[in-house]
Each structure stands twice: as C-alpha cells, then as structure tokens.
Structure 1
C-alpha cells in the first residue's frame, strides 16, 4: 500500500470523527435548548410563621399615650416637662422627664429616695439605659429629633 493511500484513509477517518463529534455536540445543545424547564416543586410543610408587625424606628409602640406605662412596660414619645406615670407598686411616684436636644434627664422620687440620671438619646444602640427599683429606661432619638423612651421592669 502506498503512503499516499494510507494518508488519505487517515485524513478521511479523522474528518469523519470530527464531523460526527461536532454533530453529536450540536444535537446535545439543541436538545437541551428545546427541553422544557420545570418549576421547582413546593414541598408540603408547616406554614411559615406570620411576621409580627414591626414598629418603625421613628415611631413609639404606644405613641404619646403615657398611661400605657402604668404597668412599666411601654415605649412612648416624650417631651420635656412630662411625667411618665407608674403603678405605686414599683416604688416610685412616676418619672419626670426633661430634654435638652439629645440629652434626657429622668428624675424619679420614691418613698425614701430620689434618682436623677442623664443620658444621651443618640447613643441608644450602644445600650444607653438607667435602672431604678428594677425599672429600666432606654431613650432614643428619632431622625427628626423626637425622644422615644422604652420602659421595662424586672
């Protein structure tokens, strides 16, 4: 056999393999392109818990209703000169509030005691709080300069 004939057979075989491989790849691509895409199936399970309504950071949960604090569990907007009323069982006659910009001064008078504390309401995120007789006060300032106080008890 001549070298020329072997070269021709080899070249033809390589070309045939290349064309067959290309055709196979093309077929796969076309098949994948025409197959329907199925949506993922939802699995049955317990319903997602409903999210509780979120209170905006610029609003107080109890608004301006200072009487909501009688049970020492409230979040109210306060202004200078107001008094936050509390049930006498907490040992204080209420909390007097004075504000001067971001500075909030709380004054609590009890049976035989008086507590005065001053806090900066702009640093509320860092844990600014004051506690007297198991009552904790956490002031924060809104973007528009209003003061909101959260009152909690042990």
Structure 2
C-alpha cells in the first residue's frame, strides 16, 4: 500500500439533515397554502345583529356548510367546495357525512342576494339528509351611533 493512502472505512449512517430541511420547507408551504384552498365560493353574507355562536363548536373545517350563491346553486364545503351540486347529490353526500358523525354542526351559508326560496330549499336538503339543527352563517351587523343613520 502506498505511504500517502490510508484505507477508509465505509460510513453506515445516513445524513438526515438535508431531509429535515426539505421537510421544514414543505411544512411551511402547506401551512401557507392550506387556508387558501379552503376558501370555497364567494358569497355576500347578509348583515344580521345576532349573538355569535361558540367558535369551538362551529369550526368551519369540521362543520357541514351548505352554501347558496346568488343564482341558487348549492355547494358543500366538505366534499367539493368549489363545484356546484344539485339537490339530490347534496342530500346523498350530506347524509353520508352526517351518518359518520351525527353531532357534526350543520350550517347554511347563503348569499344576501339569493332568493328566499333557494335558501329554504337548501335547508330542506339538509333536513332530508338528517340534520337536526341547522344554523345560519351571517356577518355581524354594523352598529350605528344612537340617533344617527
């Protein structure tokens, strides 16, 4: 063996530091993009002066929310939030979700410009799916100063 060369031992360990760096970058990407993916459709909620609900019980990620846009189209948040569904499909999918978790909060999120009949039909869809209590999602009413308009 030449004098300048020594025999090197093979290293039997994996260097995981680069994998940890990649994992942290992916974690940050998912944390930033996840809220953007759950936005769903855009509706203009009616302004109503009502008591706010308990936020721990009605977290939108676990609540079943049936949205009604101004044209009367229905959207389910836990299935395909940006794809309109007809009432028959909405009943089937909502019933399947409620059969797995009967205590799941159920909400109707309707555009302020949607017709009363469309909102009532959406509530009927949820009743047909087996929802016992149905809540309405609204924006808080803006308070005016006393005596002013």
TM bucket normalised to smaller: under 0.3
Give the alignment's TM-score, normalised by structure 2: 0.23
Give the alignment's TM-score, normalised by structure 1: 0.23
- Look at both structures and tell me which one has the larger radius of gyration over its CA atoms: 1
- Larger RCO, structure (CA 8 Å, separation 6 or more): 2
